[in-house]
Structure 1
Amino acid sequence: MAEVNYTEDSIRSLDWREHIRLRPGMYIGKLGDGSSTDDGIYILVKEIIDNSIDEYVMGNGKTIEIKVSDHKVVVRDYGRGIPLGKVIDCVSKINTGGKYDSKAFQKSVGLNGVGTKAANALSSYFKVQSVRDGQMKTAEFEQGILTVDHPVTETSQRNGTLVTFVPDDTIFRNYHFIPEYLENLIWNYVYLNAGLTIHFNGQKYYSENGLKDLLARKIDAESQRYPIVHLKGDDIEVALTHGNEYGEEYYSFVNGQYTTQGGTHLAAFREAVVKTVREFYKKDYDASDVRASIVGAISVRVQEPVFESQTKTKLGSQTIGPDLPTVRAFVNDFLKEHLDNYLHKNPAAADALKRRIEQSERERKDMAGIKKLANQRAKKANLHNRKLRDCRIHFDADKSEKALLTTLFITEGDSASGSITKSRNVETEAVFSLRGKPLNCFGLKKKVVYENEEFNLLQHALNIEEGIEDLRYNRVVIATDADVDGMHIRLLLLTFFLQFFPDLVKNGHVFILETPLFRVRNKKETIYCYNETEKQQAMRKLGKNPEITRFKGLGEISPDEFGKFIGDNIRLEPVILRNETSIQKILTYYMGKNTPERQQFIIENLKIEKDLVEEEVEVYA
């Protein structure tokens, strides 16, 4: 073997923008096309807004204006504005930030402004403009490279900073912003900063009551078993109630940052609620009964927080700050005093909470026998589970950015399962094969999950029996044919998830796989089309008499072709629950009795190809 010289020439030093563009995952997690809440394009938006929020927290500017179109983002705040001589450095030099050695910034979101540099480097166009005391400085960049350095000019505009950027479509392929994701992001900012006004695409967002307003938006008054408990202290705010749905639902924040994967503060909150409740009622309730159907939110402020990634989605800090108590002790002590006081002062709420806990206890005991048998069956099946073709990396066990790509495809039929199994990425993509149509579980009790072998095996494959903290795959993708039967299977699976594991949907883990309906090709080129419009465009592009194939089912797509649709170019439609409608109302509407209104709605709103016959629609409806 030839000897390789290891000299100074072997070491390559990348400049800041090259490094970010070569390793974007280190700065913004996964790239994605915008179909997931944790995709990189939302992290870029967040990094820019975070700087404006820090200005507000410091007492500068009560309004932020945000405009987002398909590809362009504009953020304008009315803070102090970046010092004019440092405008270029602040968005293009790593370790340049206004927050070092400043007590005022001890509990801010961003420290050294790396996020702004990432947004600059990963944008095809980036403009920063700062206004300070009648003077304005503007600079423009492309992919992090300064293209126009405008001289300082006089202006009558109010102080503040304006950032405009267009994410680079060579890095974020086929990306699009989903308005609901941005709306949730903006609501969280106003809940955590009572008194702040954000104008987003012409609409006003404002909150007076912080986390109490957040929960009121997430759970309607009819579903609350007792009024929302809202507790505030120095560096901590908590809100909680119990509803009627299965599962636990939490929203956790650190220094104004939404920690989607929780961390030490959320673990402490869950533990402290159980401990306080047990002590108040002087009963050793099972922790799962206390937390069943809880909807809660916690926000803490921590000095020098340690997050488990640059995207700040999970808190790793153990203490509130130097020489201060641990996060666990801090949260525990706060709830022990304030939640206990609340329950003593509000006997009606305390009574309603007790009834909710005892209802969960009865349901759990009622299920115990069937659960034990089902779990024994599942344990045996897991040793040679023919329904599951697993992958190597799992979301609950792996800390790398690859874990964000872990996907479980739920398919129906041997041919579709076979195509996906052969073409998938065995590192991050698993396949679960259904046998025909799953059971319609609308209105059934949770023990059906254990009585029905298929549901039980799916629950075990996902590892969600005790909640979604140990979810094995970040994305759960329903992959069915785009015909009437496929649509019905899709609805039945969504009913299962919404009925028994709503937090899986609410936390943005469930998707529908979009697969092409047409293949248009000539001897030189093949184009896959997902709708009629794309087909017409492809026909115009390829010219005279291209060959057109209509895919009627996933099984017709060869494994080689399938690989192109579930790799980097995967198209996923997220299942988004809008806040206006309760899950029970949705399920009653879609899966309840066949009312004429419901039949008409489905017939009018189902996307059906022209060559599907009329009677199939009637069968489905």
Structure 2
Amino acid sequence: MTNYNEDSIRSLDWKEHIRLRPGMYIGKLGDGAAYDDGIYVLLKEVVDNCIDEFVMGAGKTIDINVSESKVSVRDYGRGIPLGSVVDVVSKINTGGKYDSKAFQKSVGLNGVGSKAVNALSNTFIVQSYRGGKTRTAEFSKGILLTDQEKETTQRNGTAITFIPDESIFRNYKYRTEFIENMIWNYVFLNSGLTINFNGTKFFSENGLRDLLERNVEAEAMRYPIIHLKGEDIEIALTHGQSYGEEYYSFVNGQHTTQGGTHQAAFREAIVKTVREFFKKEFDASDVRASFIAAIAIKVQEPVFESQTKTKLGSQSMGPEGPTVRTFINDFVKKALDDYLHKNPDTADALLKRILQSERERKDIAGIKKLANERAKKASLHNRKLRDCKIHYDDKHERNQETTLFITEGDSASGSITKSRDVHTQAVFSLKGKPLNVFGLTKKVVYENEEFNLLQHAMNIEDGLDGLRYNNIVVATDADVDGMHIRLLLMTFFLQFFPDLVKAGHVSILQTPLFRVRNKKETIYCYSEEERLDAIQKLGTKPEITRFKGLGEISPEEFGLFIGKDIRLEPVMLQKDNKIQQILGYYMGKNTPDRQKHIVNNLRVELDVDLAKEAIA
């Protein structure tokens, strides 16, 4: 046994601890393919401090620039007190957030965020402008390199520039779409704030109403958005056409993607108020079916369940305030009830949507019961699912890593199953091409055994609250059949579980097309360009292998592609993407437009190497 003595006890300084356990501070690492990957958390931690300045009435503009790996953020607030510039970014338990008079209802609580960015960046520069003077400090991986002070004519405020450490964030790339979504949320929640991102201006006049209008197709809304504001609370809501529930919840400007006490109270308050208004005991699921809503509250000294602040744990609005549940219930009961009385057309449309959901639920009740009984029996020995030990809804430090690979056939699932991490990676094997569900009702989810088993494996039948895997990864071959299966699965998710896609849980697994190697080195290539670069690098006729299917890749090699260097392509929906139009175009009956597109884009692939040999 290993000796356990005084030499085993270590004391780490702040930067060593952050670099050793980055997950404690920024969640998962990732390469930028997911919206909650670490590189976006670094950016968010810096911007949060700028938002706190704005909330306190200091500075109405924030400038953000992201160029490849370099990030710069400049606010025009009060500026960090010059004598504390180094300390606030390099000393734990040092910051202005402990002074409730200086920062009320702020996002940051403990001042840890900027230290984490500092420790996890190869380059970190903080510059404060205050009262005609400026102080600049430069760090590398948390180590102070330079510190100087001089005169300036610049406006007060703080500027931070950082480059994430590539030894921690491997092969990372910032995706503009994720940054823009983050910025839109900031301006939706902070009326009067302007954010300039890479030269584009972001501004919102109508808060959460603008948020829903940006994220929901206008023709899909069953009635105009209900937008209600009170002291420390704002809500916006409507009902759509698609299945599931969709929530955008915020606390002190922080996007709580995993909900928490405020979101749970909001869902409860909506059902209670609607029942009392119509004087009918509707089933809660019928009231909330197709519900799309946003809620933002401000809490003094909020308690989050992790440093990344994705889930609120606070039970009260502040040291002497009401409980979160009581506060939200009281507001919704009065404000929503008043609104429905004053807008009978909206109330009538809301009632029709609820009654429609009730009819649909009763229509599939019989087959749903039988399907669930079959799924329960199958779960005891589900040959399609090779489950993992940790799940997303577990309170485990690795729950963010939980992944479900959906594969085509036994050969591909066999390779993944043998090489996966059994703690966090599960595999669901399709028997072939799934059914095209475009235009069908949710009844088919229960009638089709494979789809029923899949929804039970993910535990999303009643929404995302019990989702068992953070990442749903479609792992199909990069051939025509594999692409078709991807489309069929995307149709299934978008038709019946669009909130799963919108919440950023669905991705496509990228696997190498080529292996280029010589006796000294092996390079896996994901495109023709990477293959040509690898040939040039290795030289002298290296061995080239073309992978035609996932089943051809040995388990030993597959382990390299689903581990720390996994490449995932996120499935994202833009504002202009209208789900029904997209599905109708690609998955509906052959339309003249689609036929024309196919004919105009036909091409013949030539093997470049064979062509060169023929010419020679």
Pick the TM interval, shorter chain: over 0.9
Q: 2:126 aligns with which of 89, 113, 128?
A: 128
Structure 1 residues 124, 604: closer, same or farther in 2, change over 3 A?
A: farther
> CA-to-partner distance for each residue in 1:516-542, whole Å, 9 max, x for gaps?
000001111111000011111111111
Q: 2:65 aligns with which of 64, 67, 91?
A: 67
> CA-to-partner distance for each residue in 1:519-571, whole Å, 9 max, x for gaps?
00111111100001111111111110100000011111000000000000000
Give how far 1:600 is off: 4.5
Amino acid at match of 2:70: K
Distance in 1 between residues matched to 2:411 and 2:217, nearest whole Å: 43
Amino acid at match of 2:113: G
Amino acid at match of 2:417: T
Q: How many residues align?
A: 608
Give how far 1:10 is off: 3.6
Q: 1:374 aligns with which of 371, 374, 389?
A: 371
Structure 1 residues 434, 231: closer, same or farther in 2, change over 3 A?
A: same
Distance in 1 between residues matched to 2:132 and 2:299, nearest whole Å: 36
Structure 1 residues 5, 597: closer, same or farther in 2, change over 3 A?
A: closer
Q: 1:31 aligns with which of 25, 29, 32?
A: 29
Give how far 1:358 is off: 0.2
- 1:572 partnered with 2:564: no
Structure 1 residues 600, 420: closer, same or farther in 2, change over 3 A?
A: farther
Structure 1 residues 493, 603: closer, same or farther in 2, change over 3 A?
A: farther
Q: 1:105 aligns to what?
A: 103
Q: 2:509 aligns with which of 495, 508, 513?
A: 513
Q: 1:224 aligns to what?
A: 221
Distance in 2 between residues matched to 1:503 and 1:69, nearest whole Å: 31
Q: 1:437 aligns with which of 414, 420, 433?
A: 433
Distance in 2 between residues matched to 1:603 and 1:197, nearest whole Å: 46
Q: 1:89 aligns to what?
A: 87
Distance in 2 between residues matched to 1:388 and 1:367, nearest whole Å: 25
The 5 A counterparts of 1:332-371 are 332-371=329-368
Q: 1:546 aligns with which of 542, 546, 549?
A: 542
Q: 1:80 aligns with which of 59, 78, 81?
A: 78
> CA-to-partner distance for each residue in 1:59-90, whole Å, 9 max, x for gaps?
11100000112211100001111111111111
Structure 1 residues 31, 606: closer, same or farther in 2, change over 3 A?
A: farther
Give how far 1:610 is off: 4.8
Distance in 2 between residues matched to 1:277 and 1:589, nearest whole Å: 37
Q: 1:42 aligns to what?
A: 40
The 5 A counterparts of 1:196-595 are 196-396=193-393, 398-595=394-591
Distance in 2 between residues matched to 1:154 and 1:464, nearest whole Å: 59
Distance in 2 between residues matched to 1:234 and 1:414, nearest whole Å: 57
> CA-to-partner distance for each residue in 1:144-190, whole Å, 9 max, x for gaps?
1111212x111111111110000001000111111111111000000
Structure 1 residues 468, 160: closer, same or farther in 2, change over 3 A?
A: same
Distance in 2 between residues matched to 1:349 and 1:563, nearest whole Å: 54
Q: 2:114 aligns to what?
A: 116
Distance in 1 between residues matched to 2:215 and 2:447, nearest whole Å: 31
Distance in 2 between residues matched to 1:414 and 1:425, nearest whole Å: 18
Q: 1:187 aligns with which of 181, 184, 187?
A: 184
> CA-to-partner distance for each residue in 1:94-133, whole Å, 9 max, x for gaps?
1110122323423100023210000000000011111112
Distance in 2 between residues matched to 1:186 and 1:300, nearest whole Å: 18
- Report if aligned partners of 2:50, 2:75 keep a CA contact under 8 Å in 1: yes
Q: 1:619 aligns to what?
A: none
- Report if aligned partners of 2:390, 2:396 keep a CA contact under 8 Å in 1: no
Amino acid at match of 1:20: I
> CA-to-partner distance for each residue in 1:276-328, whole Å, 9 max, x for gaps?
00000000000000000010000011111110000000000001111221111
Distance in 1 between residues matched to 2:18 and 2:596, nearest whole Å: 52
Q: Secondary structure at the residue paired with 1:239?
A: strand
- Report if aligned partners of 1:97, 1:111 keep a CA contact under 8 Å in 2: no
Distance in 1 between residues matched to 2:302 and 2:100, nearest whole Å: 15
Q: Secondary structure at the residue paired with 2:404?
A: strand
Distance in 2 between residues matched to 1:589 and 1:5, nearest whole Å: 65
- 1:17 partnered with 2:18: no
- Report if aligned partners of 2:56, 2:104 keep a CA contact under 8 Å in 1: no
Larger displacement relative to structure 2 (100-109 or 410-419) = 100-109
Query: TM-score normalized by structure 1?
Result: 0.96
Distance in 1 between residues matched to 2:596 and 2:305, nearest whole Å: 49
- 1:6 partnered with 2:2: no
Give how far 1:601 is off: 3.7
> CA-to-partner distance for each residue in 1:567-612, whole Å, 9 max, x for gaps?
0000000000111122111111111122243245457779996569
- Report if aligned partners of 1:506, 1:576 keep a CA contact under 8 Å in 2: yes
> CA-to-partner distance for each residue in 1:323-379, whole Å, 9 max, x for gaps?
221111110010010000000000000000000000000000000111111111111
- 1:137 partnered with 2:105: no
Give how far 1:222 is off: 1.5
Distance in 2 between residues matched to 1:358 and 1:122, nearest whole Å: 53
Q: Secondary structure at the residue paired with 1:67?
A: strand
Q: Could you list the runs of 5+ residues in structure 2 that have no partner in the other structure?
A: 609-616
Distance in 1 between residues matched to 2:390 and 2:604, nearest whole Å: 37
Give how far 1:401 is off: 3.0
Q: Secondary structure at the residue paired with 1:250?
A: strand
Distance in 2 between residues matched to 1:511 and 1:478, nearest whole Å: 6
Structure 1 residues 416, 149: closer, same or farther in 2, change over 3 A?
A: same
- Report if aligned partners of 1:99, 1:105 keep a CA contact under 8 Å in 2: yes
Q: Could you list the runs of 5+ residues in structure 1 that have no partner in the other structure?
A: 613-621
- Report if aligned partners of 1:30, 1:401 keep a CA contact under 8 Å in 2: no
- 1:170 partnered with 2:156: no
- Report if aligned partners of 2:184, 2:202 keep a CA contact under 8 Å in 1: yes
Distance in 1 between residues matched to 2:135 and 2:428, nearest whole Å: 56
Q: Secondary structure at the residue paired with 2:364?
A: helix
Distance in 2 between residues matched to 1:611 and 1:516, nearest whole Å: 18
- Report if aligned partners of 1:483, 1:608 keep a CA contact under 8 Å in 2: no
Distance in 1 between residues matched to 2:115 and 2:244, nearest whole Å: 39
- Report if aligned partners of 2:139, 2:146 keep a CA contact under 8 Å in 1: yes
Distance in 1 between residues matched to 2:606 and 2:192, nearest whole Å: 52
Query: TM-score normalized by structure 2?
Result: 0.97
Amino acid at match of 2:276: E
Larger displacement relative to structure 2 (213-222 or 479-488) = 213-222
Q: 1:616 aligns to what?
A: none
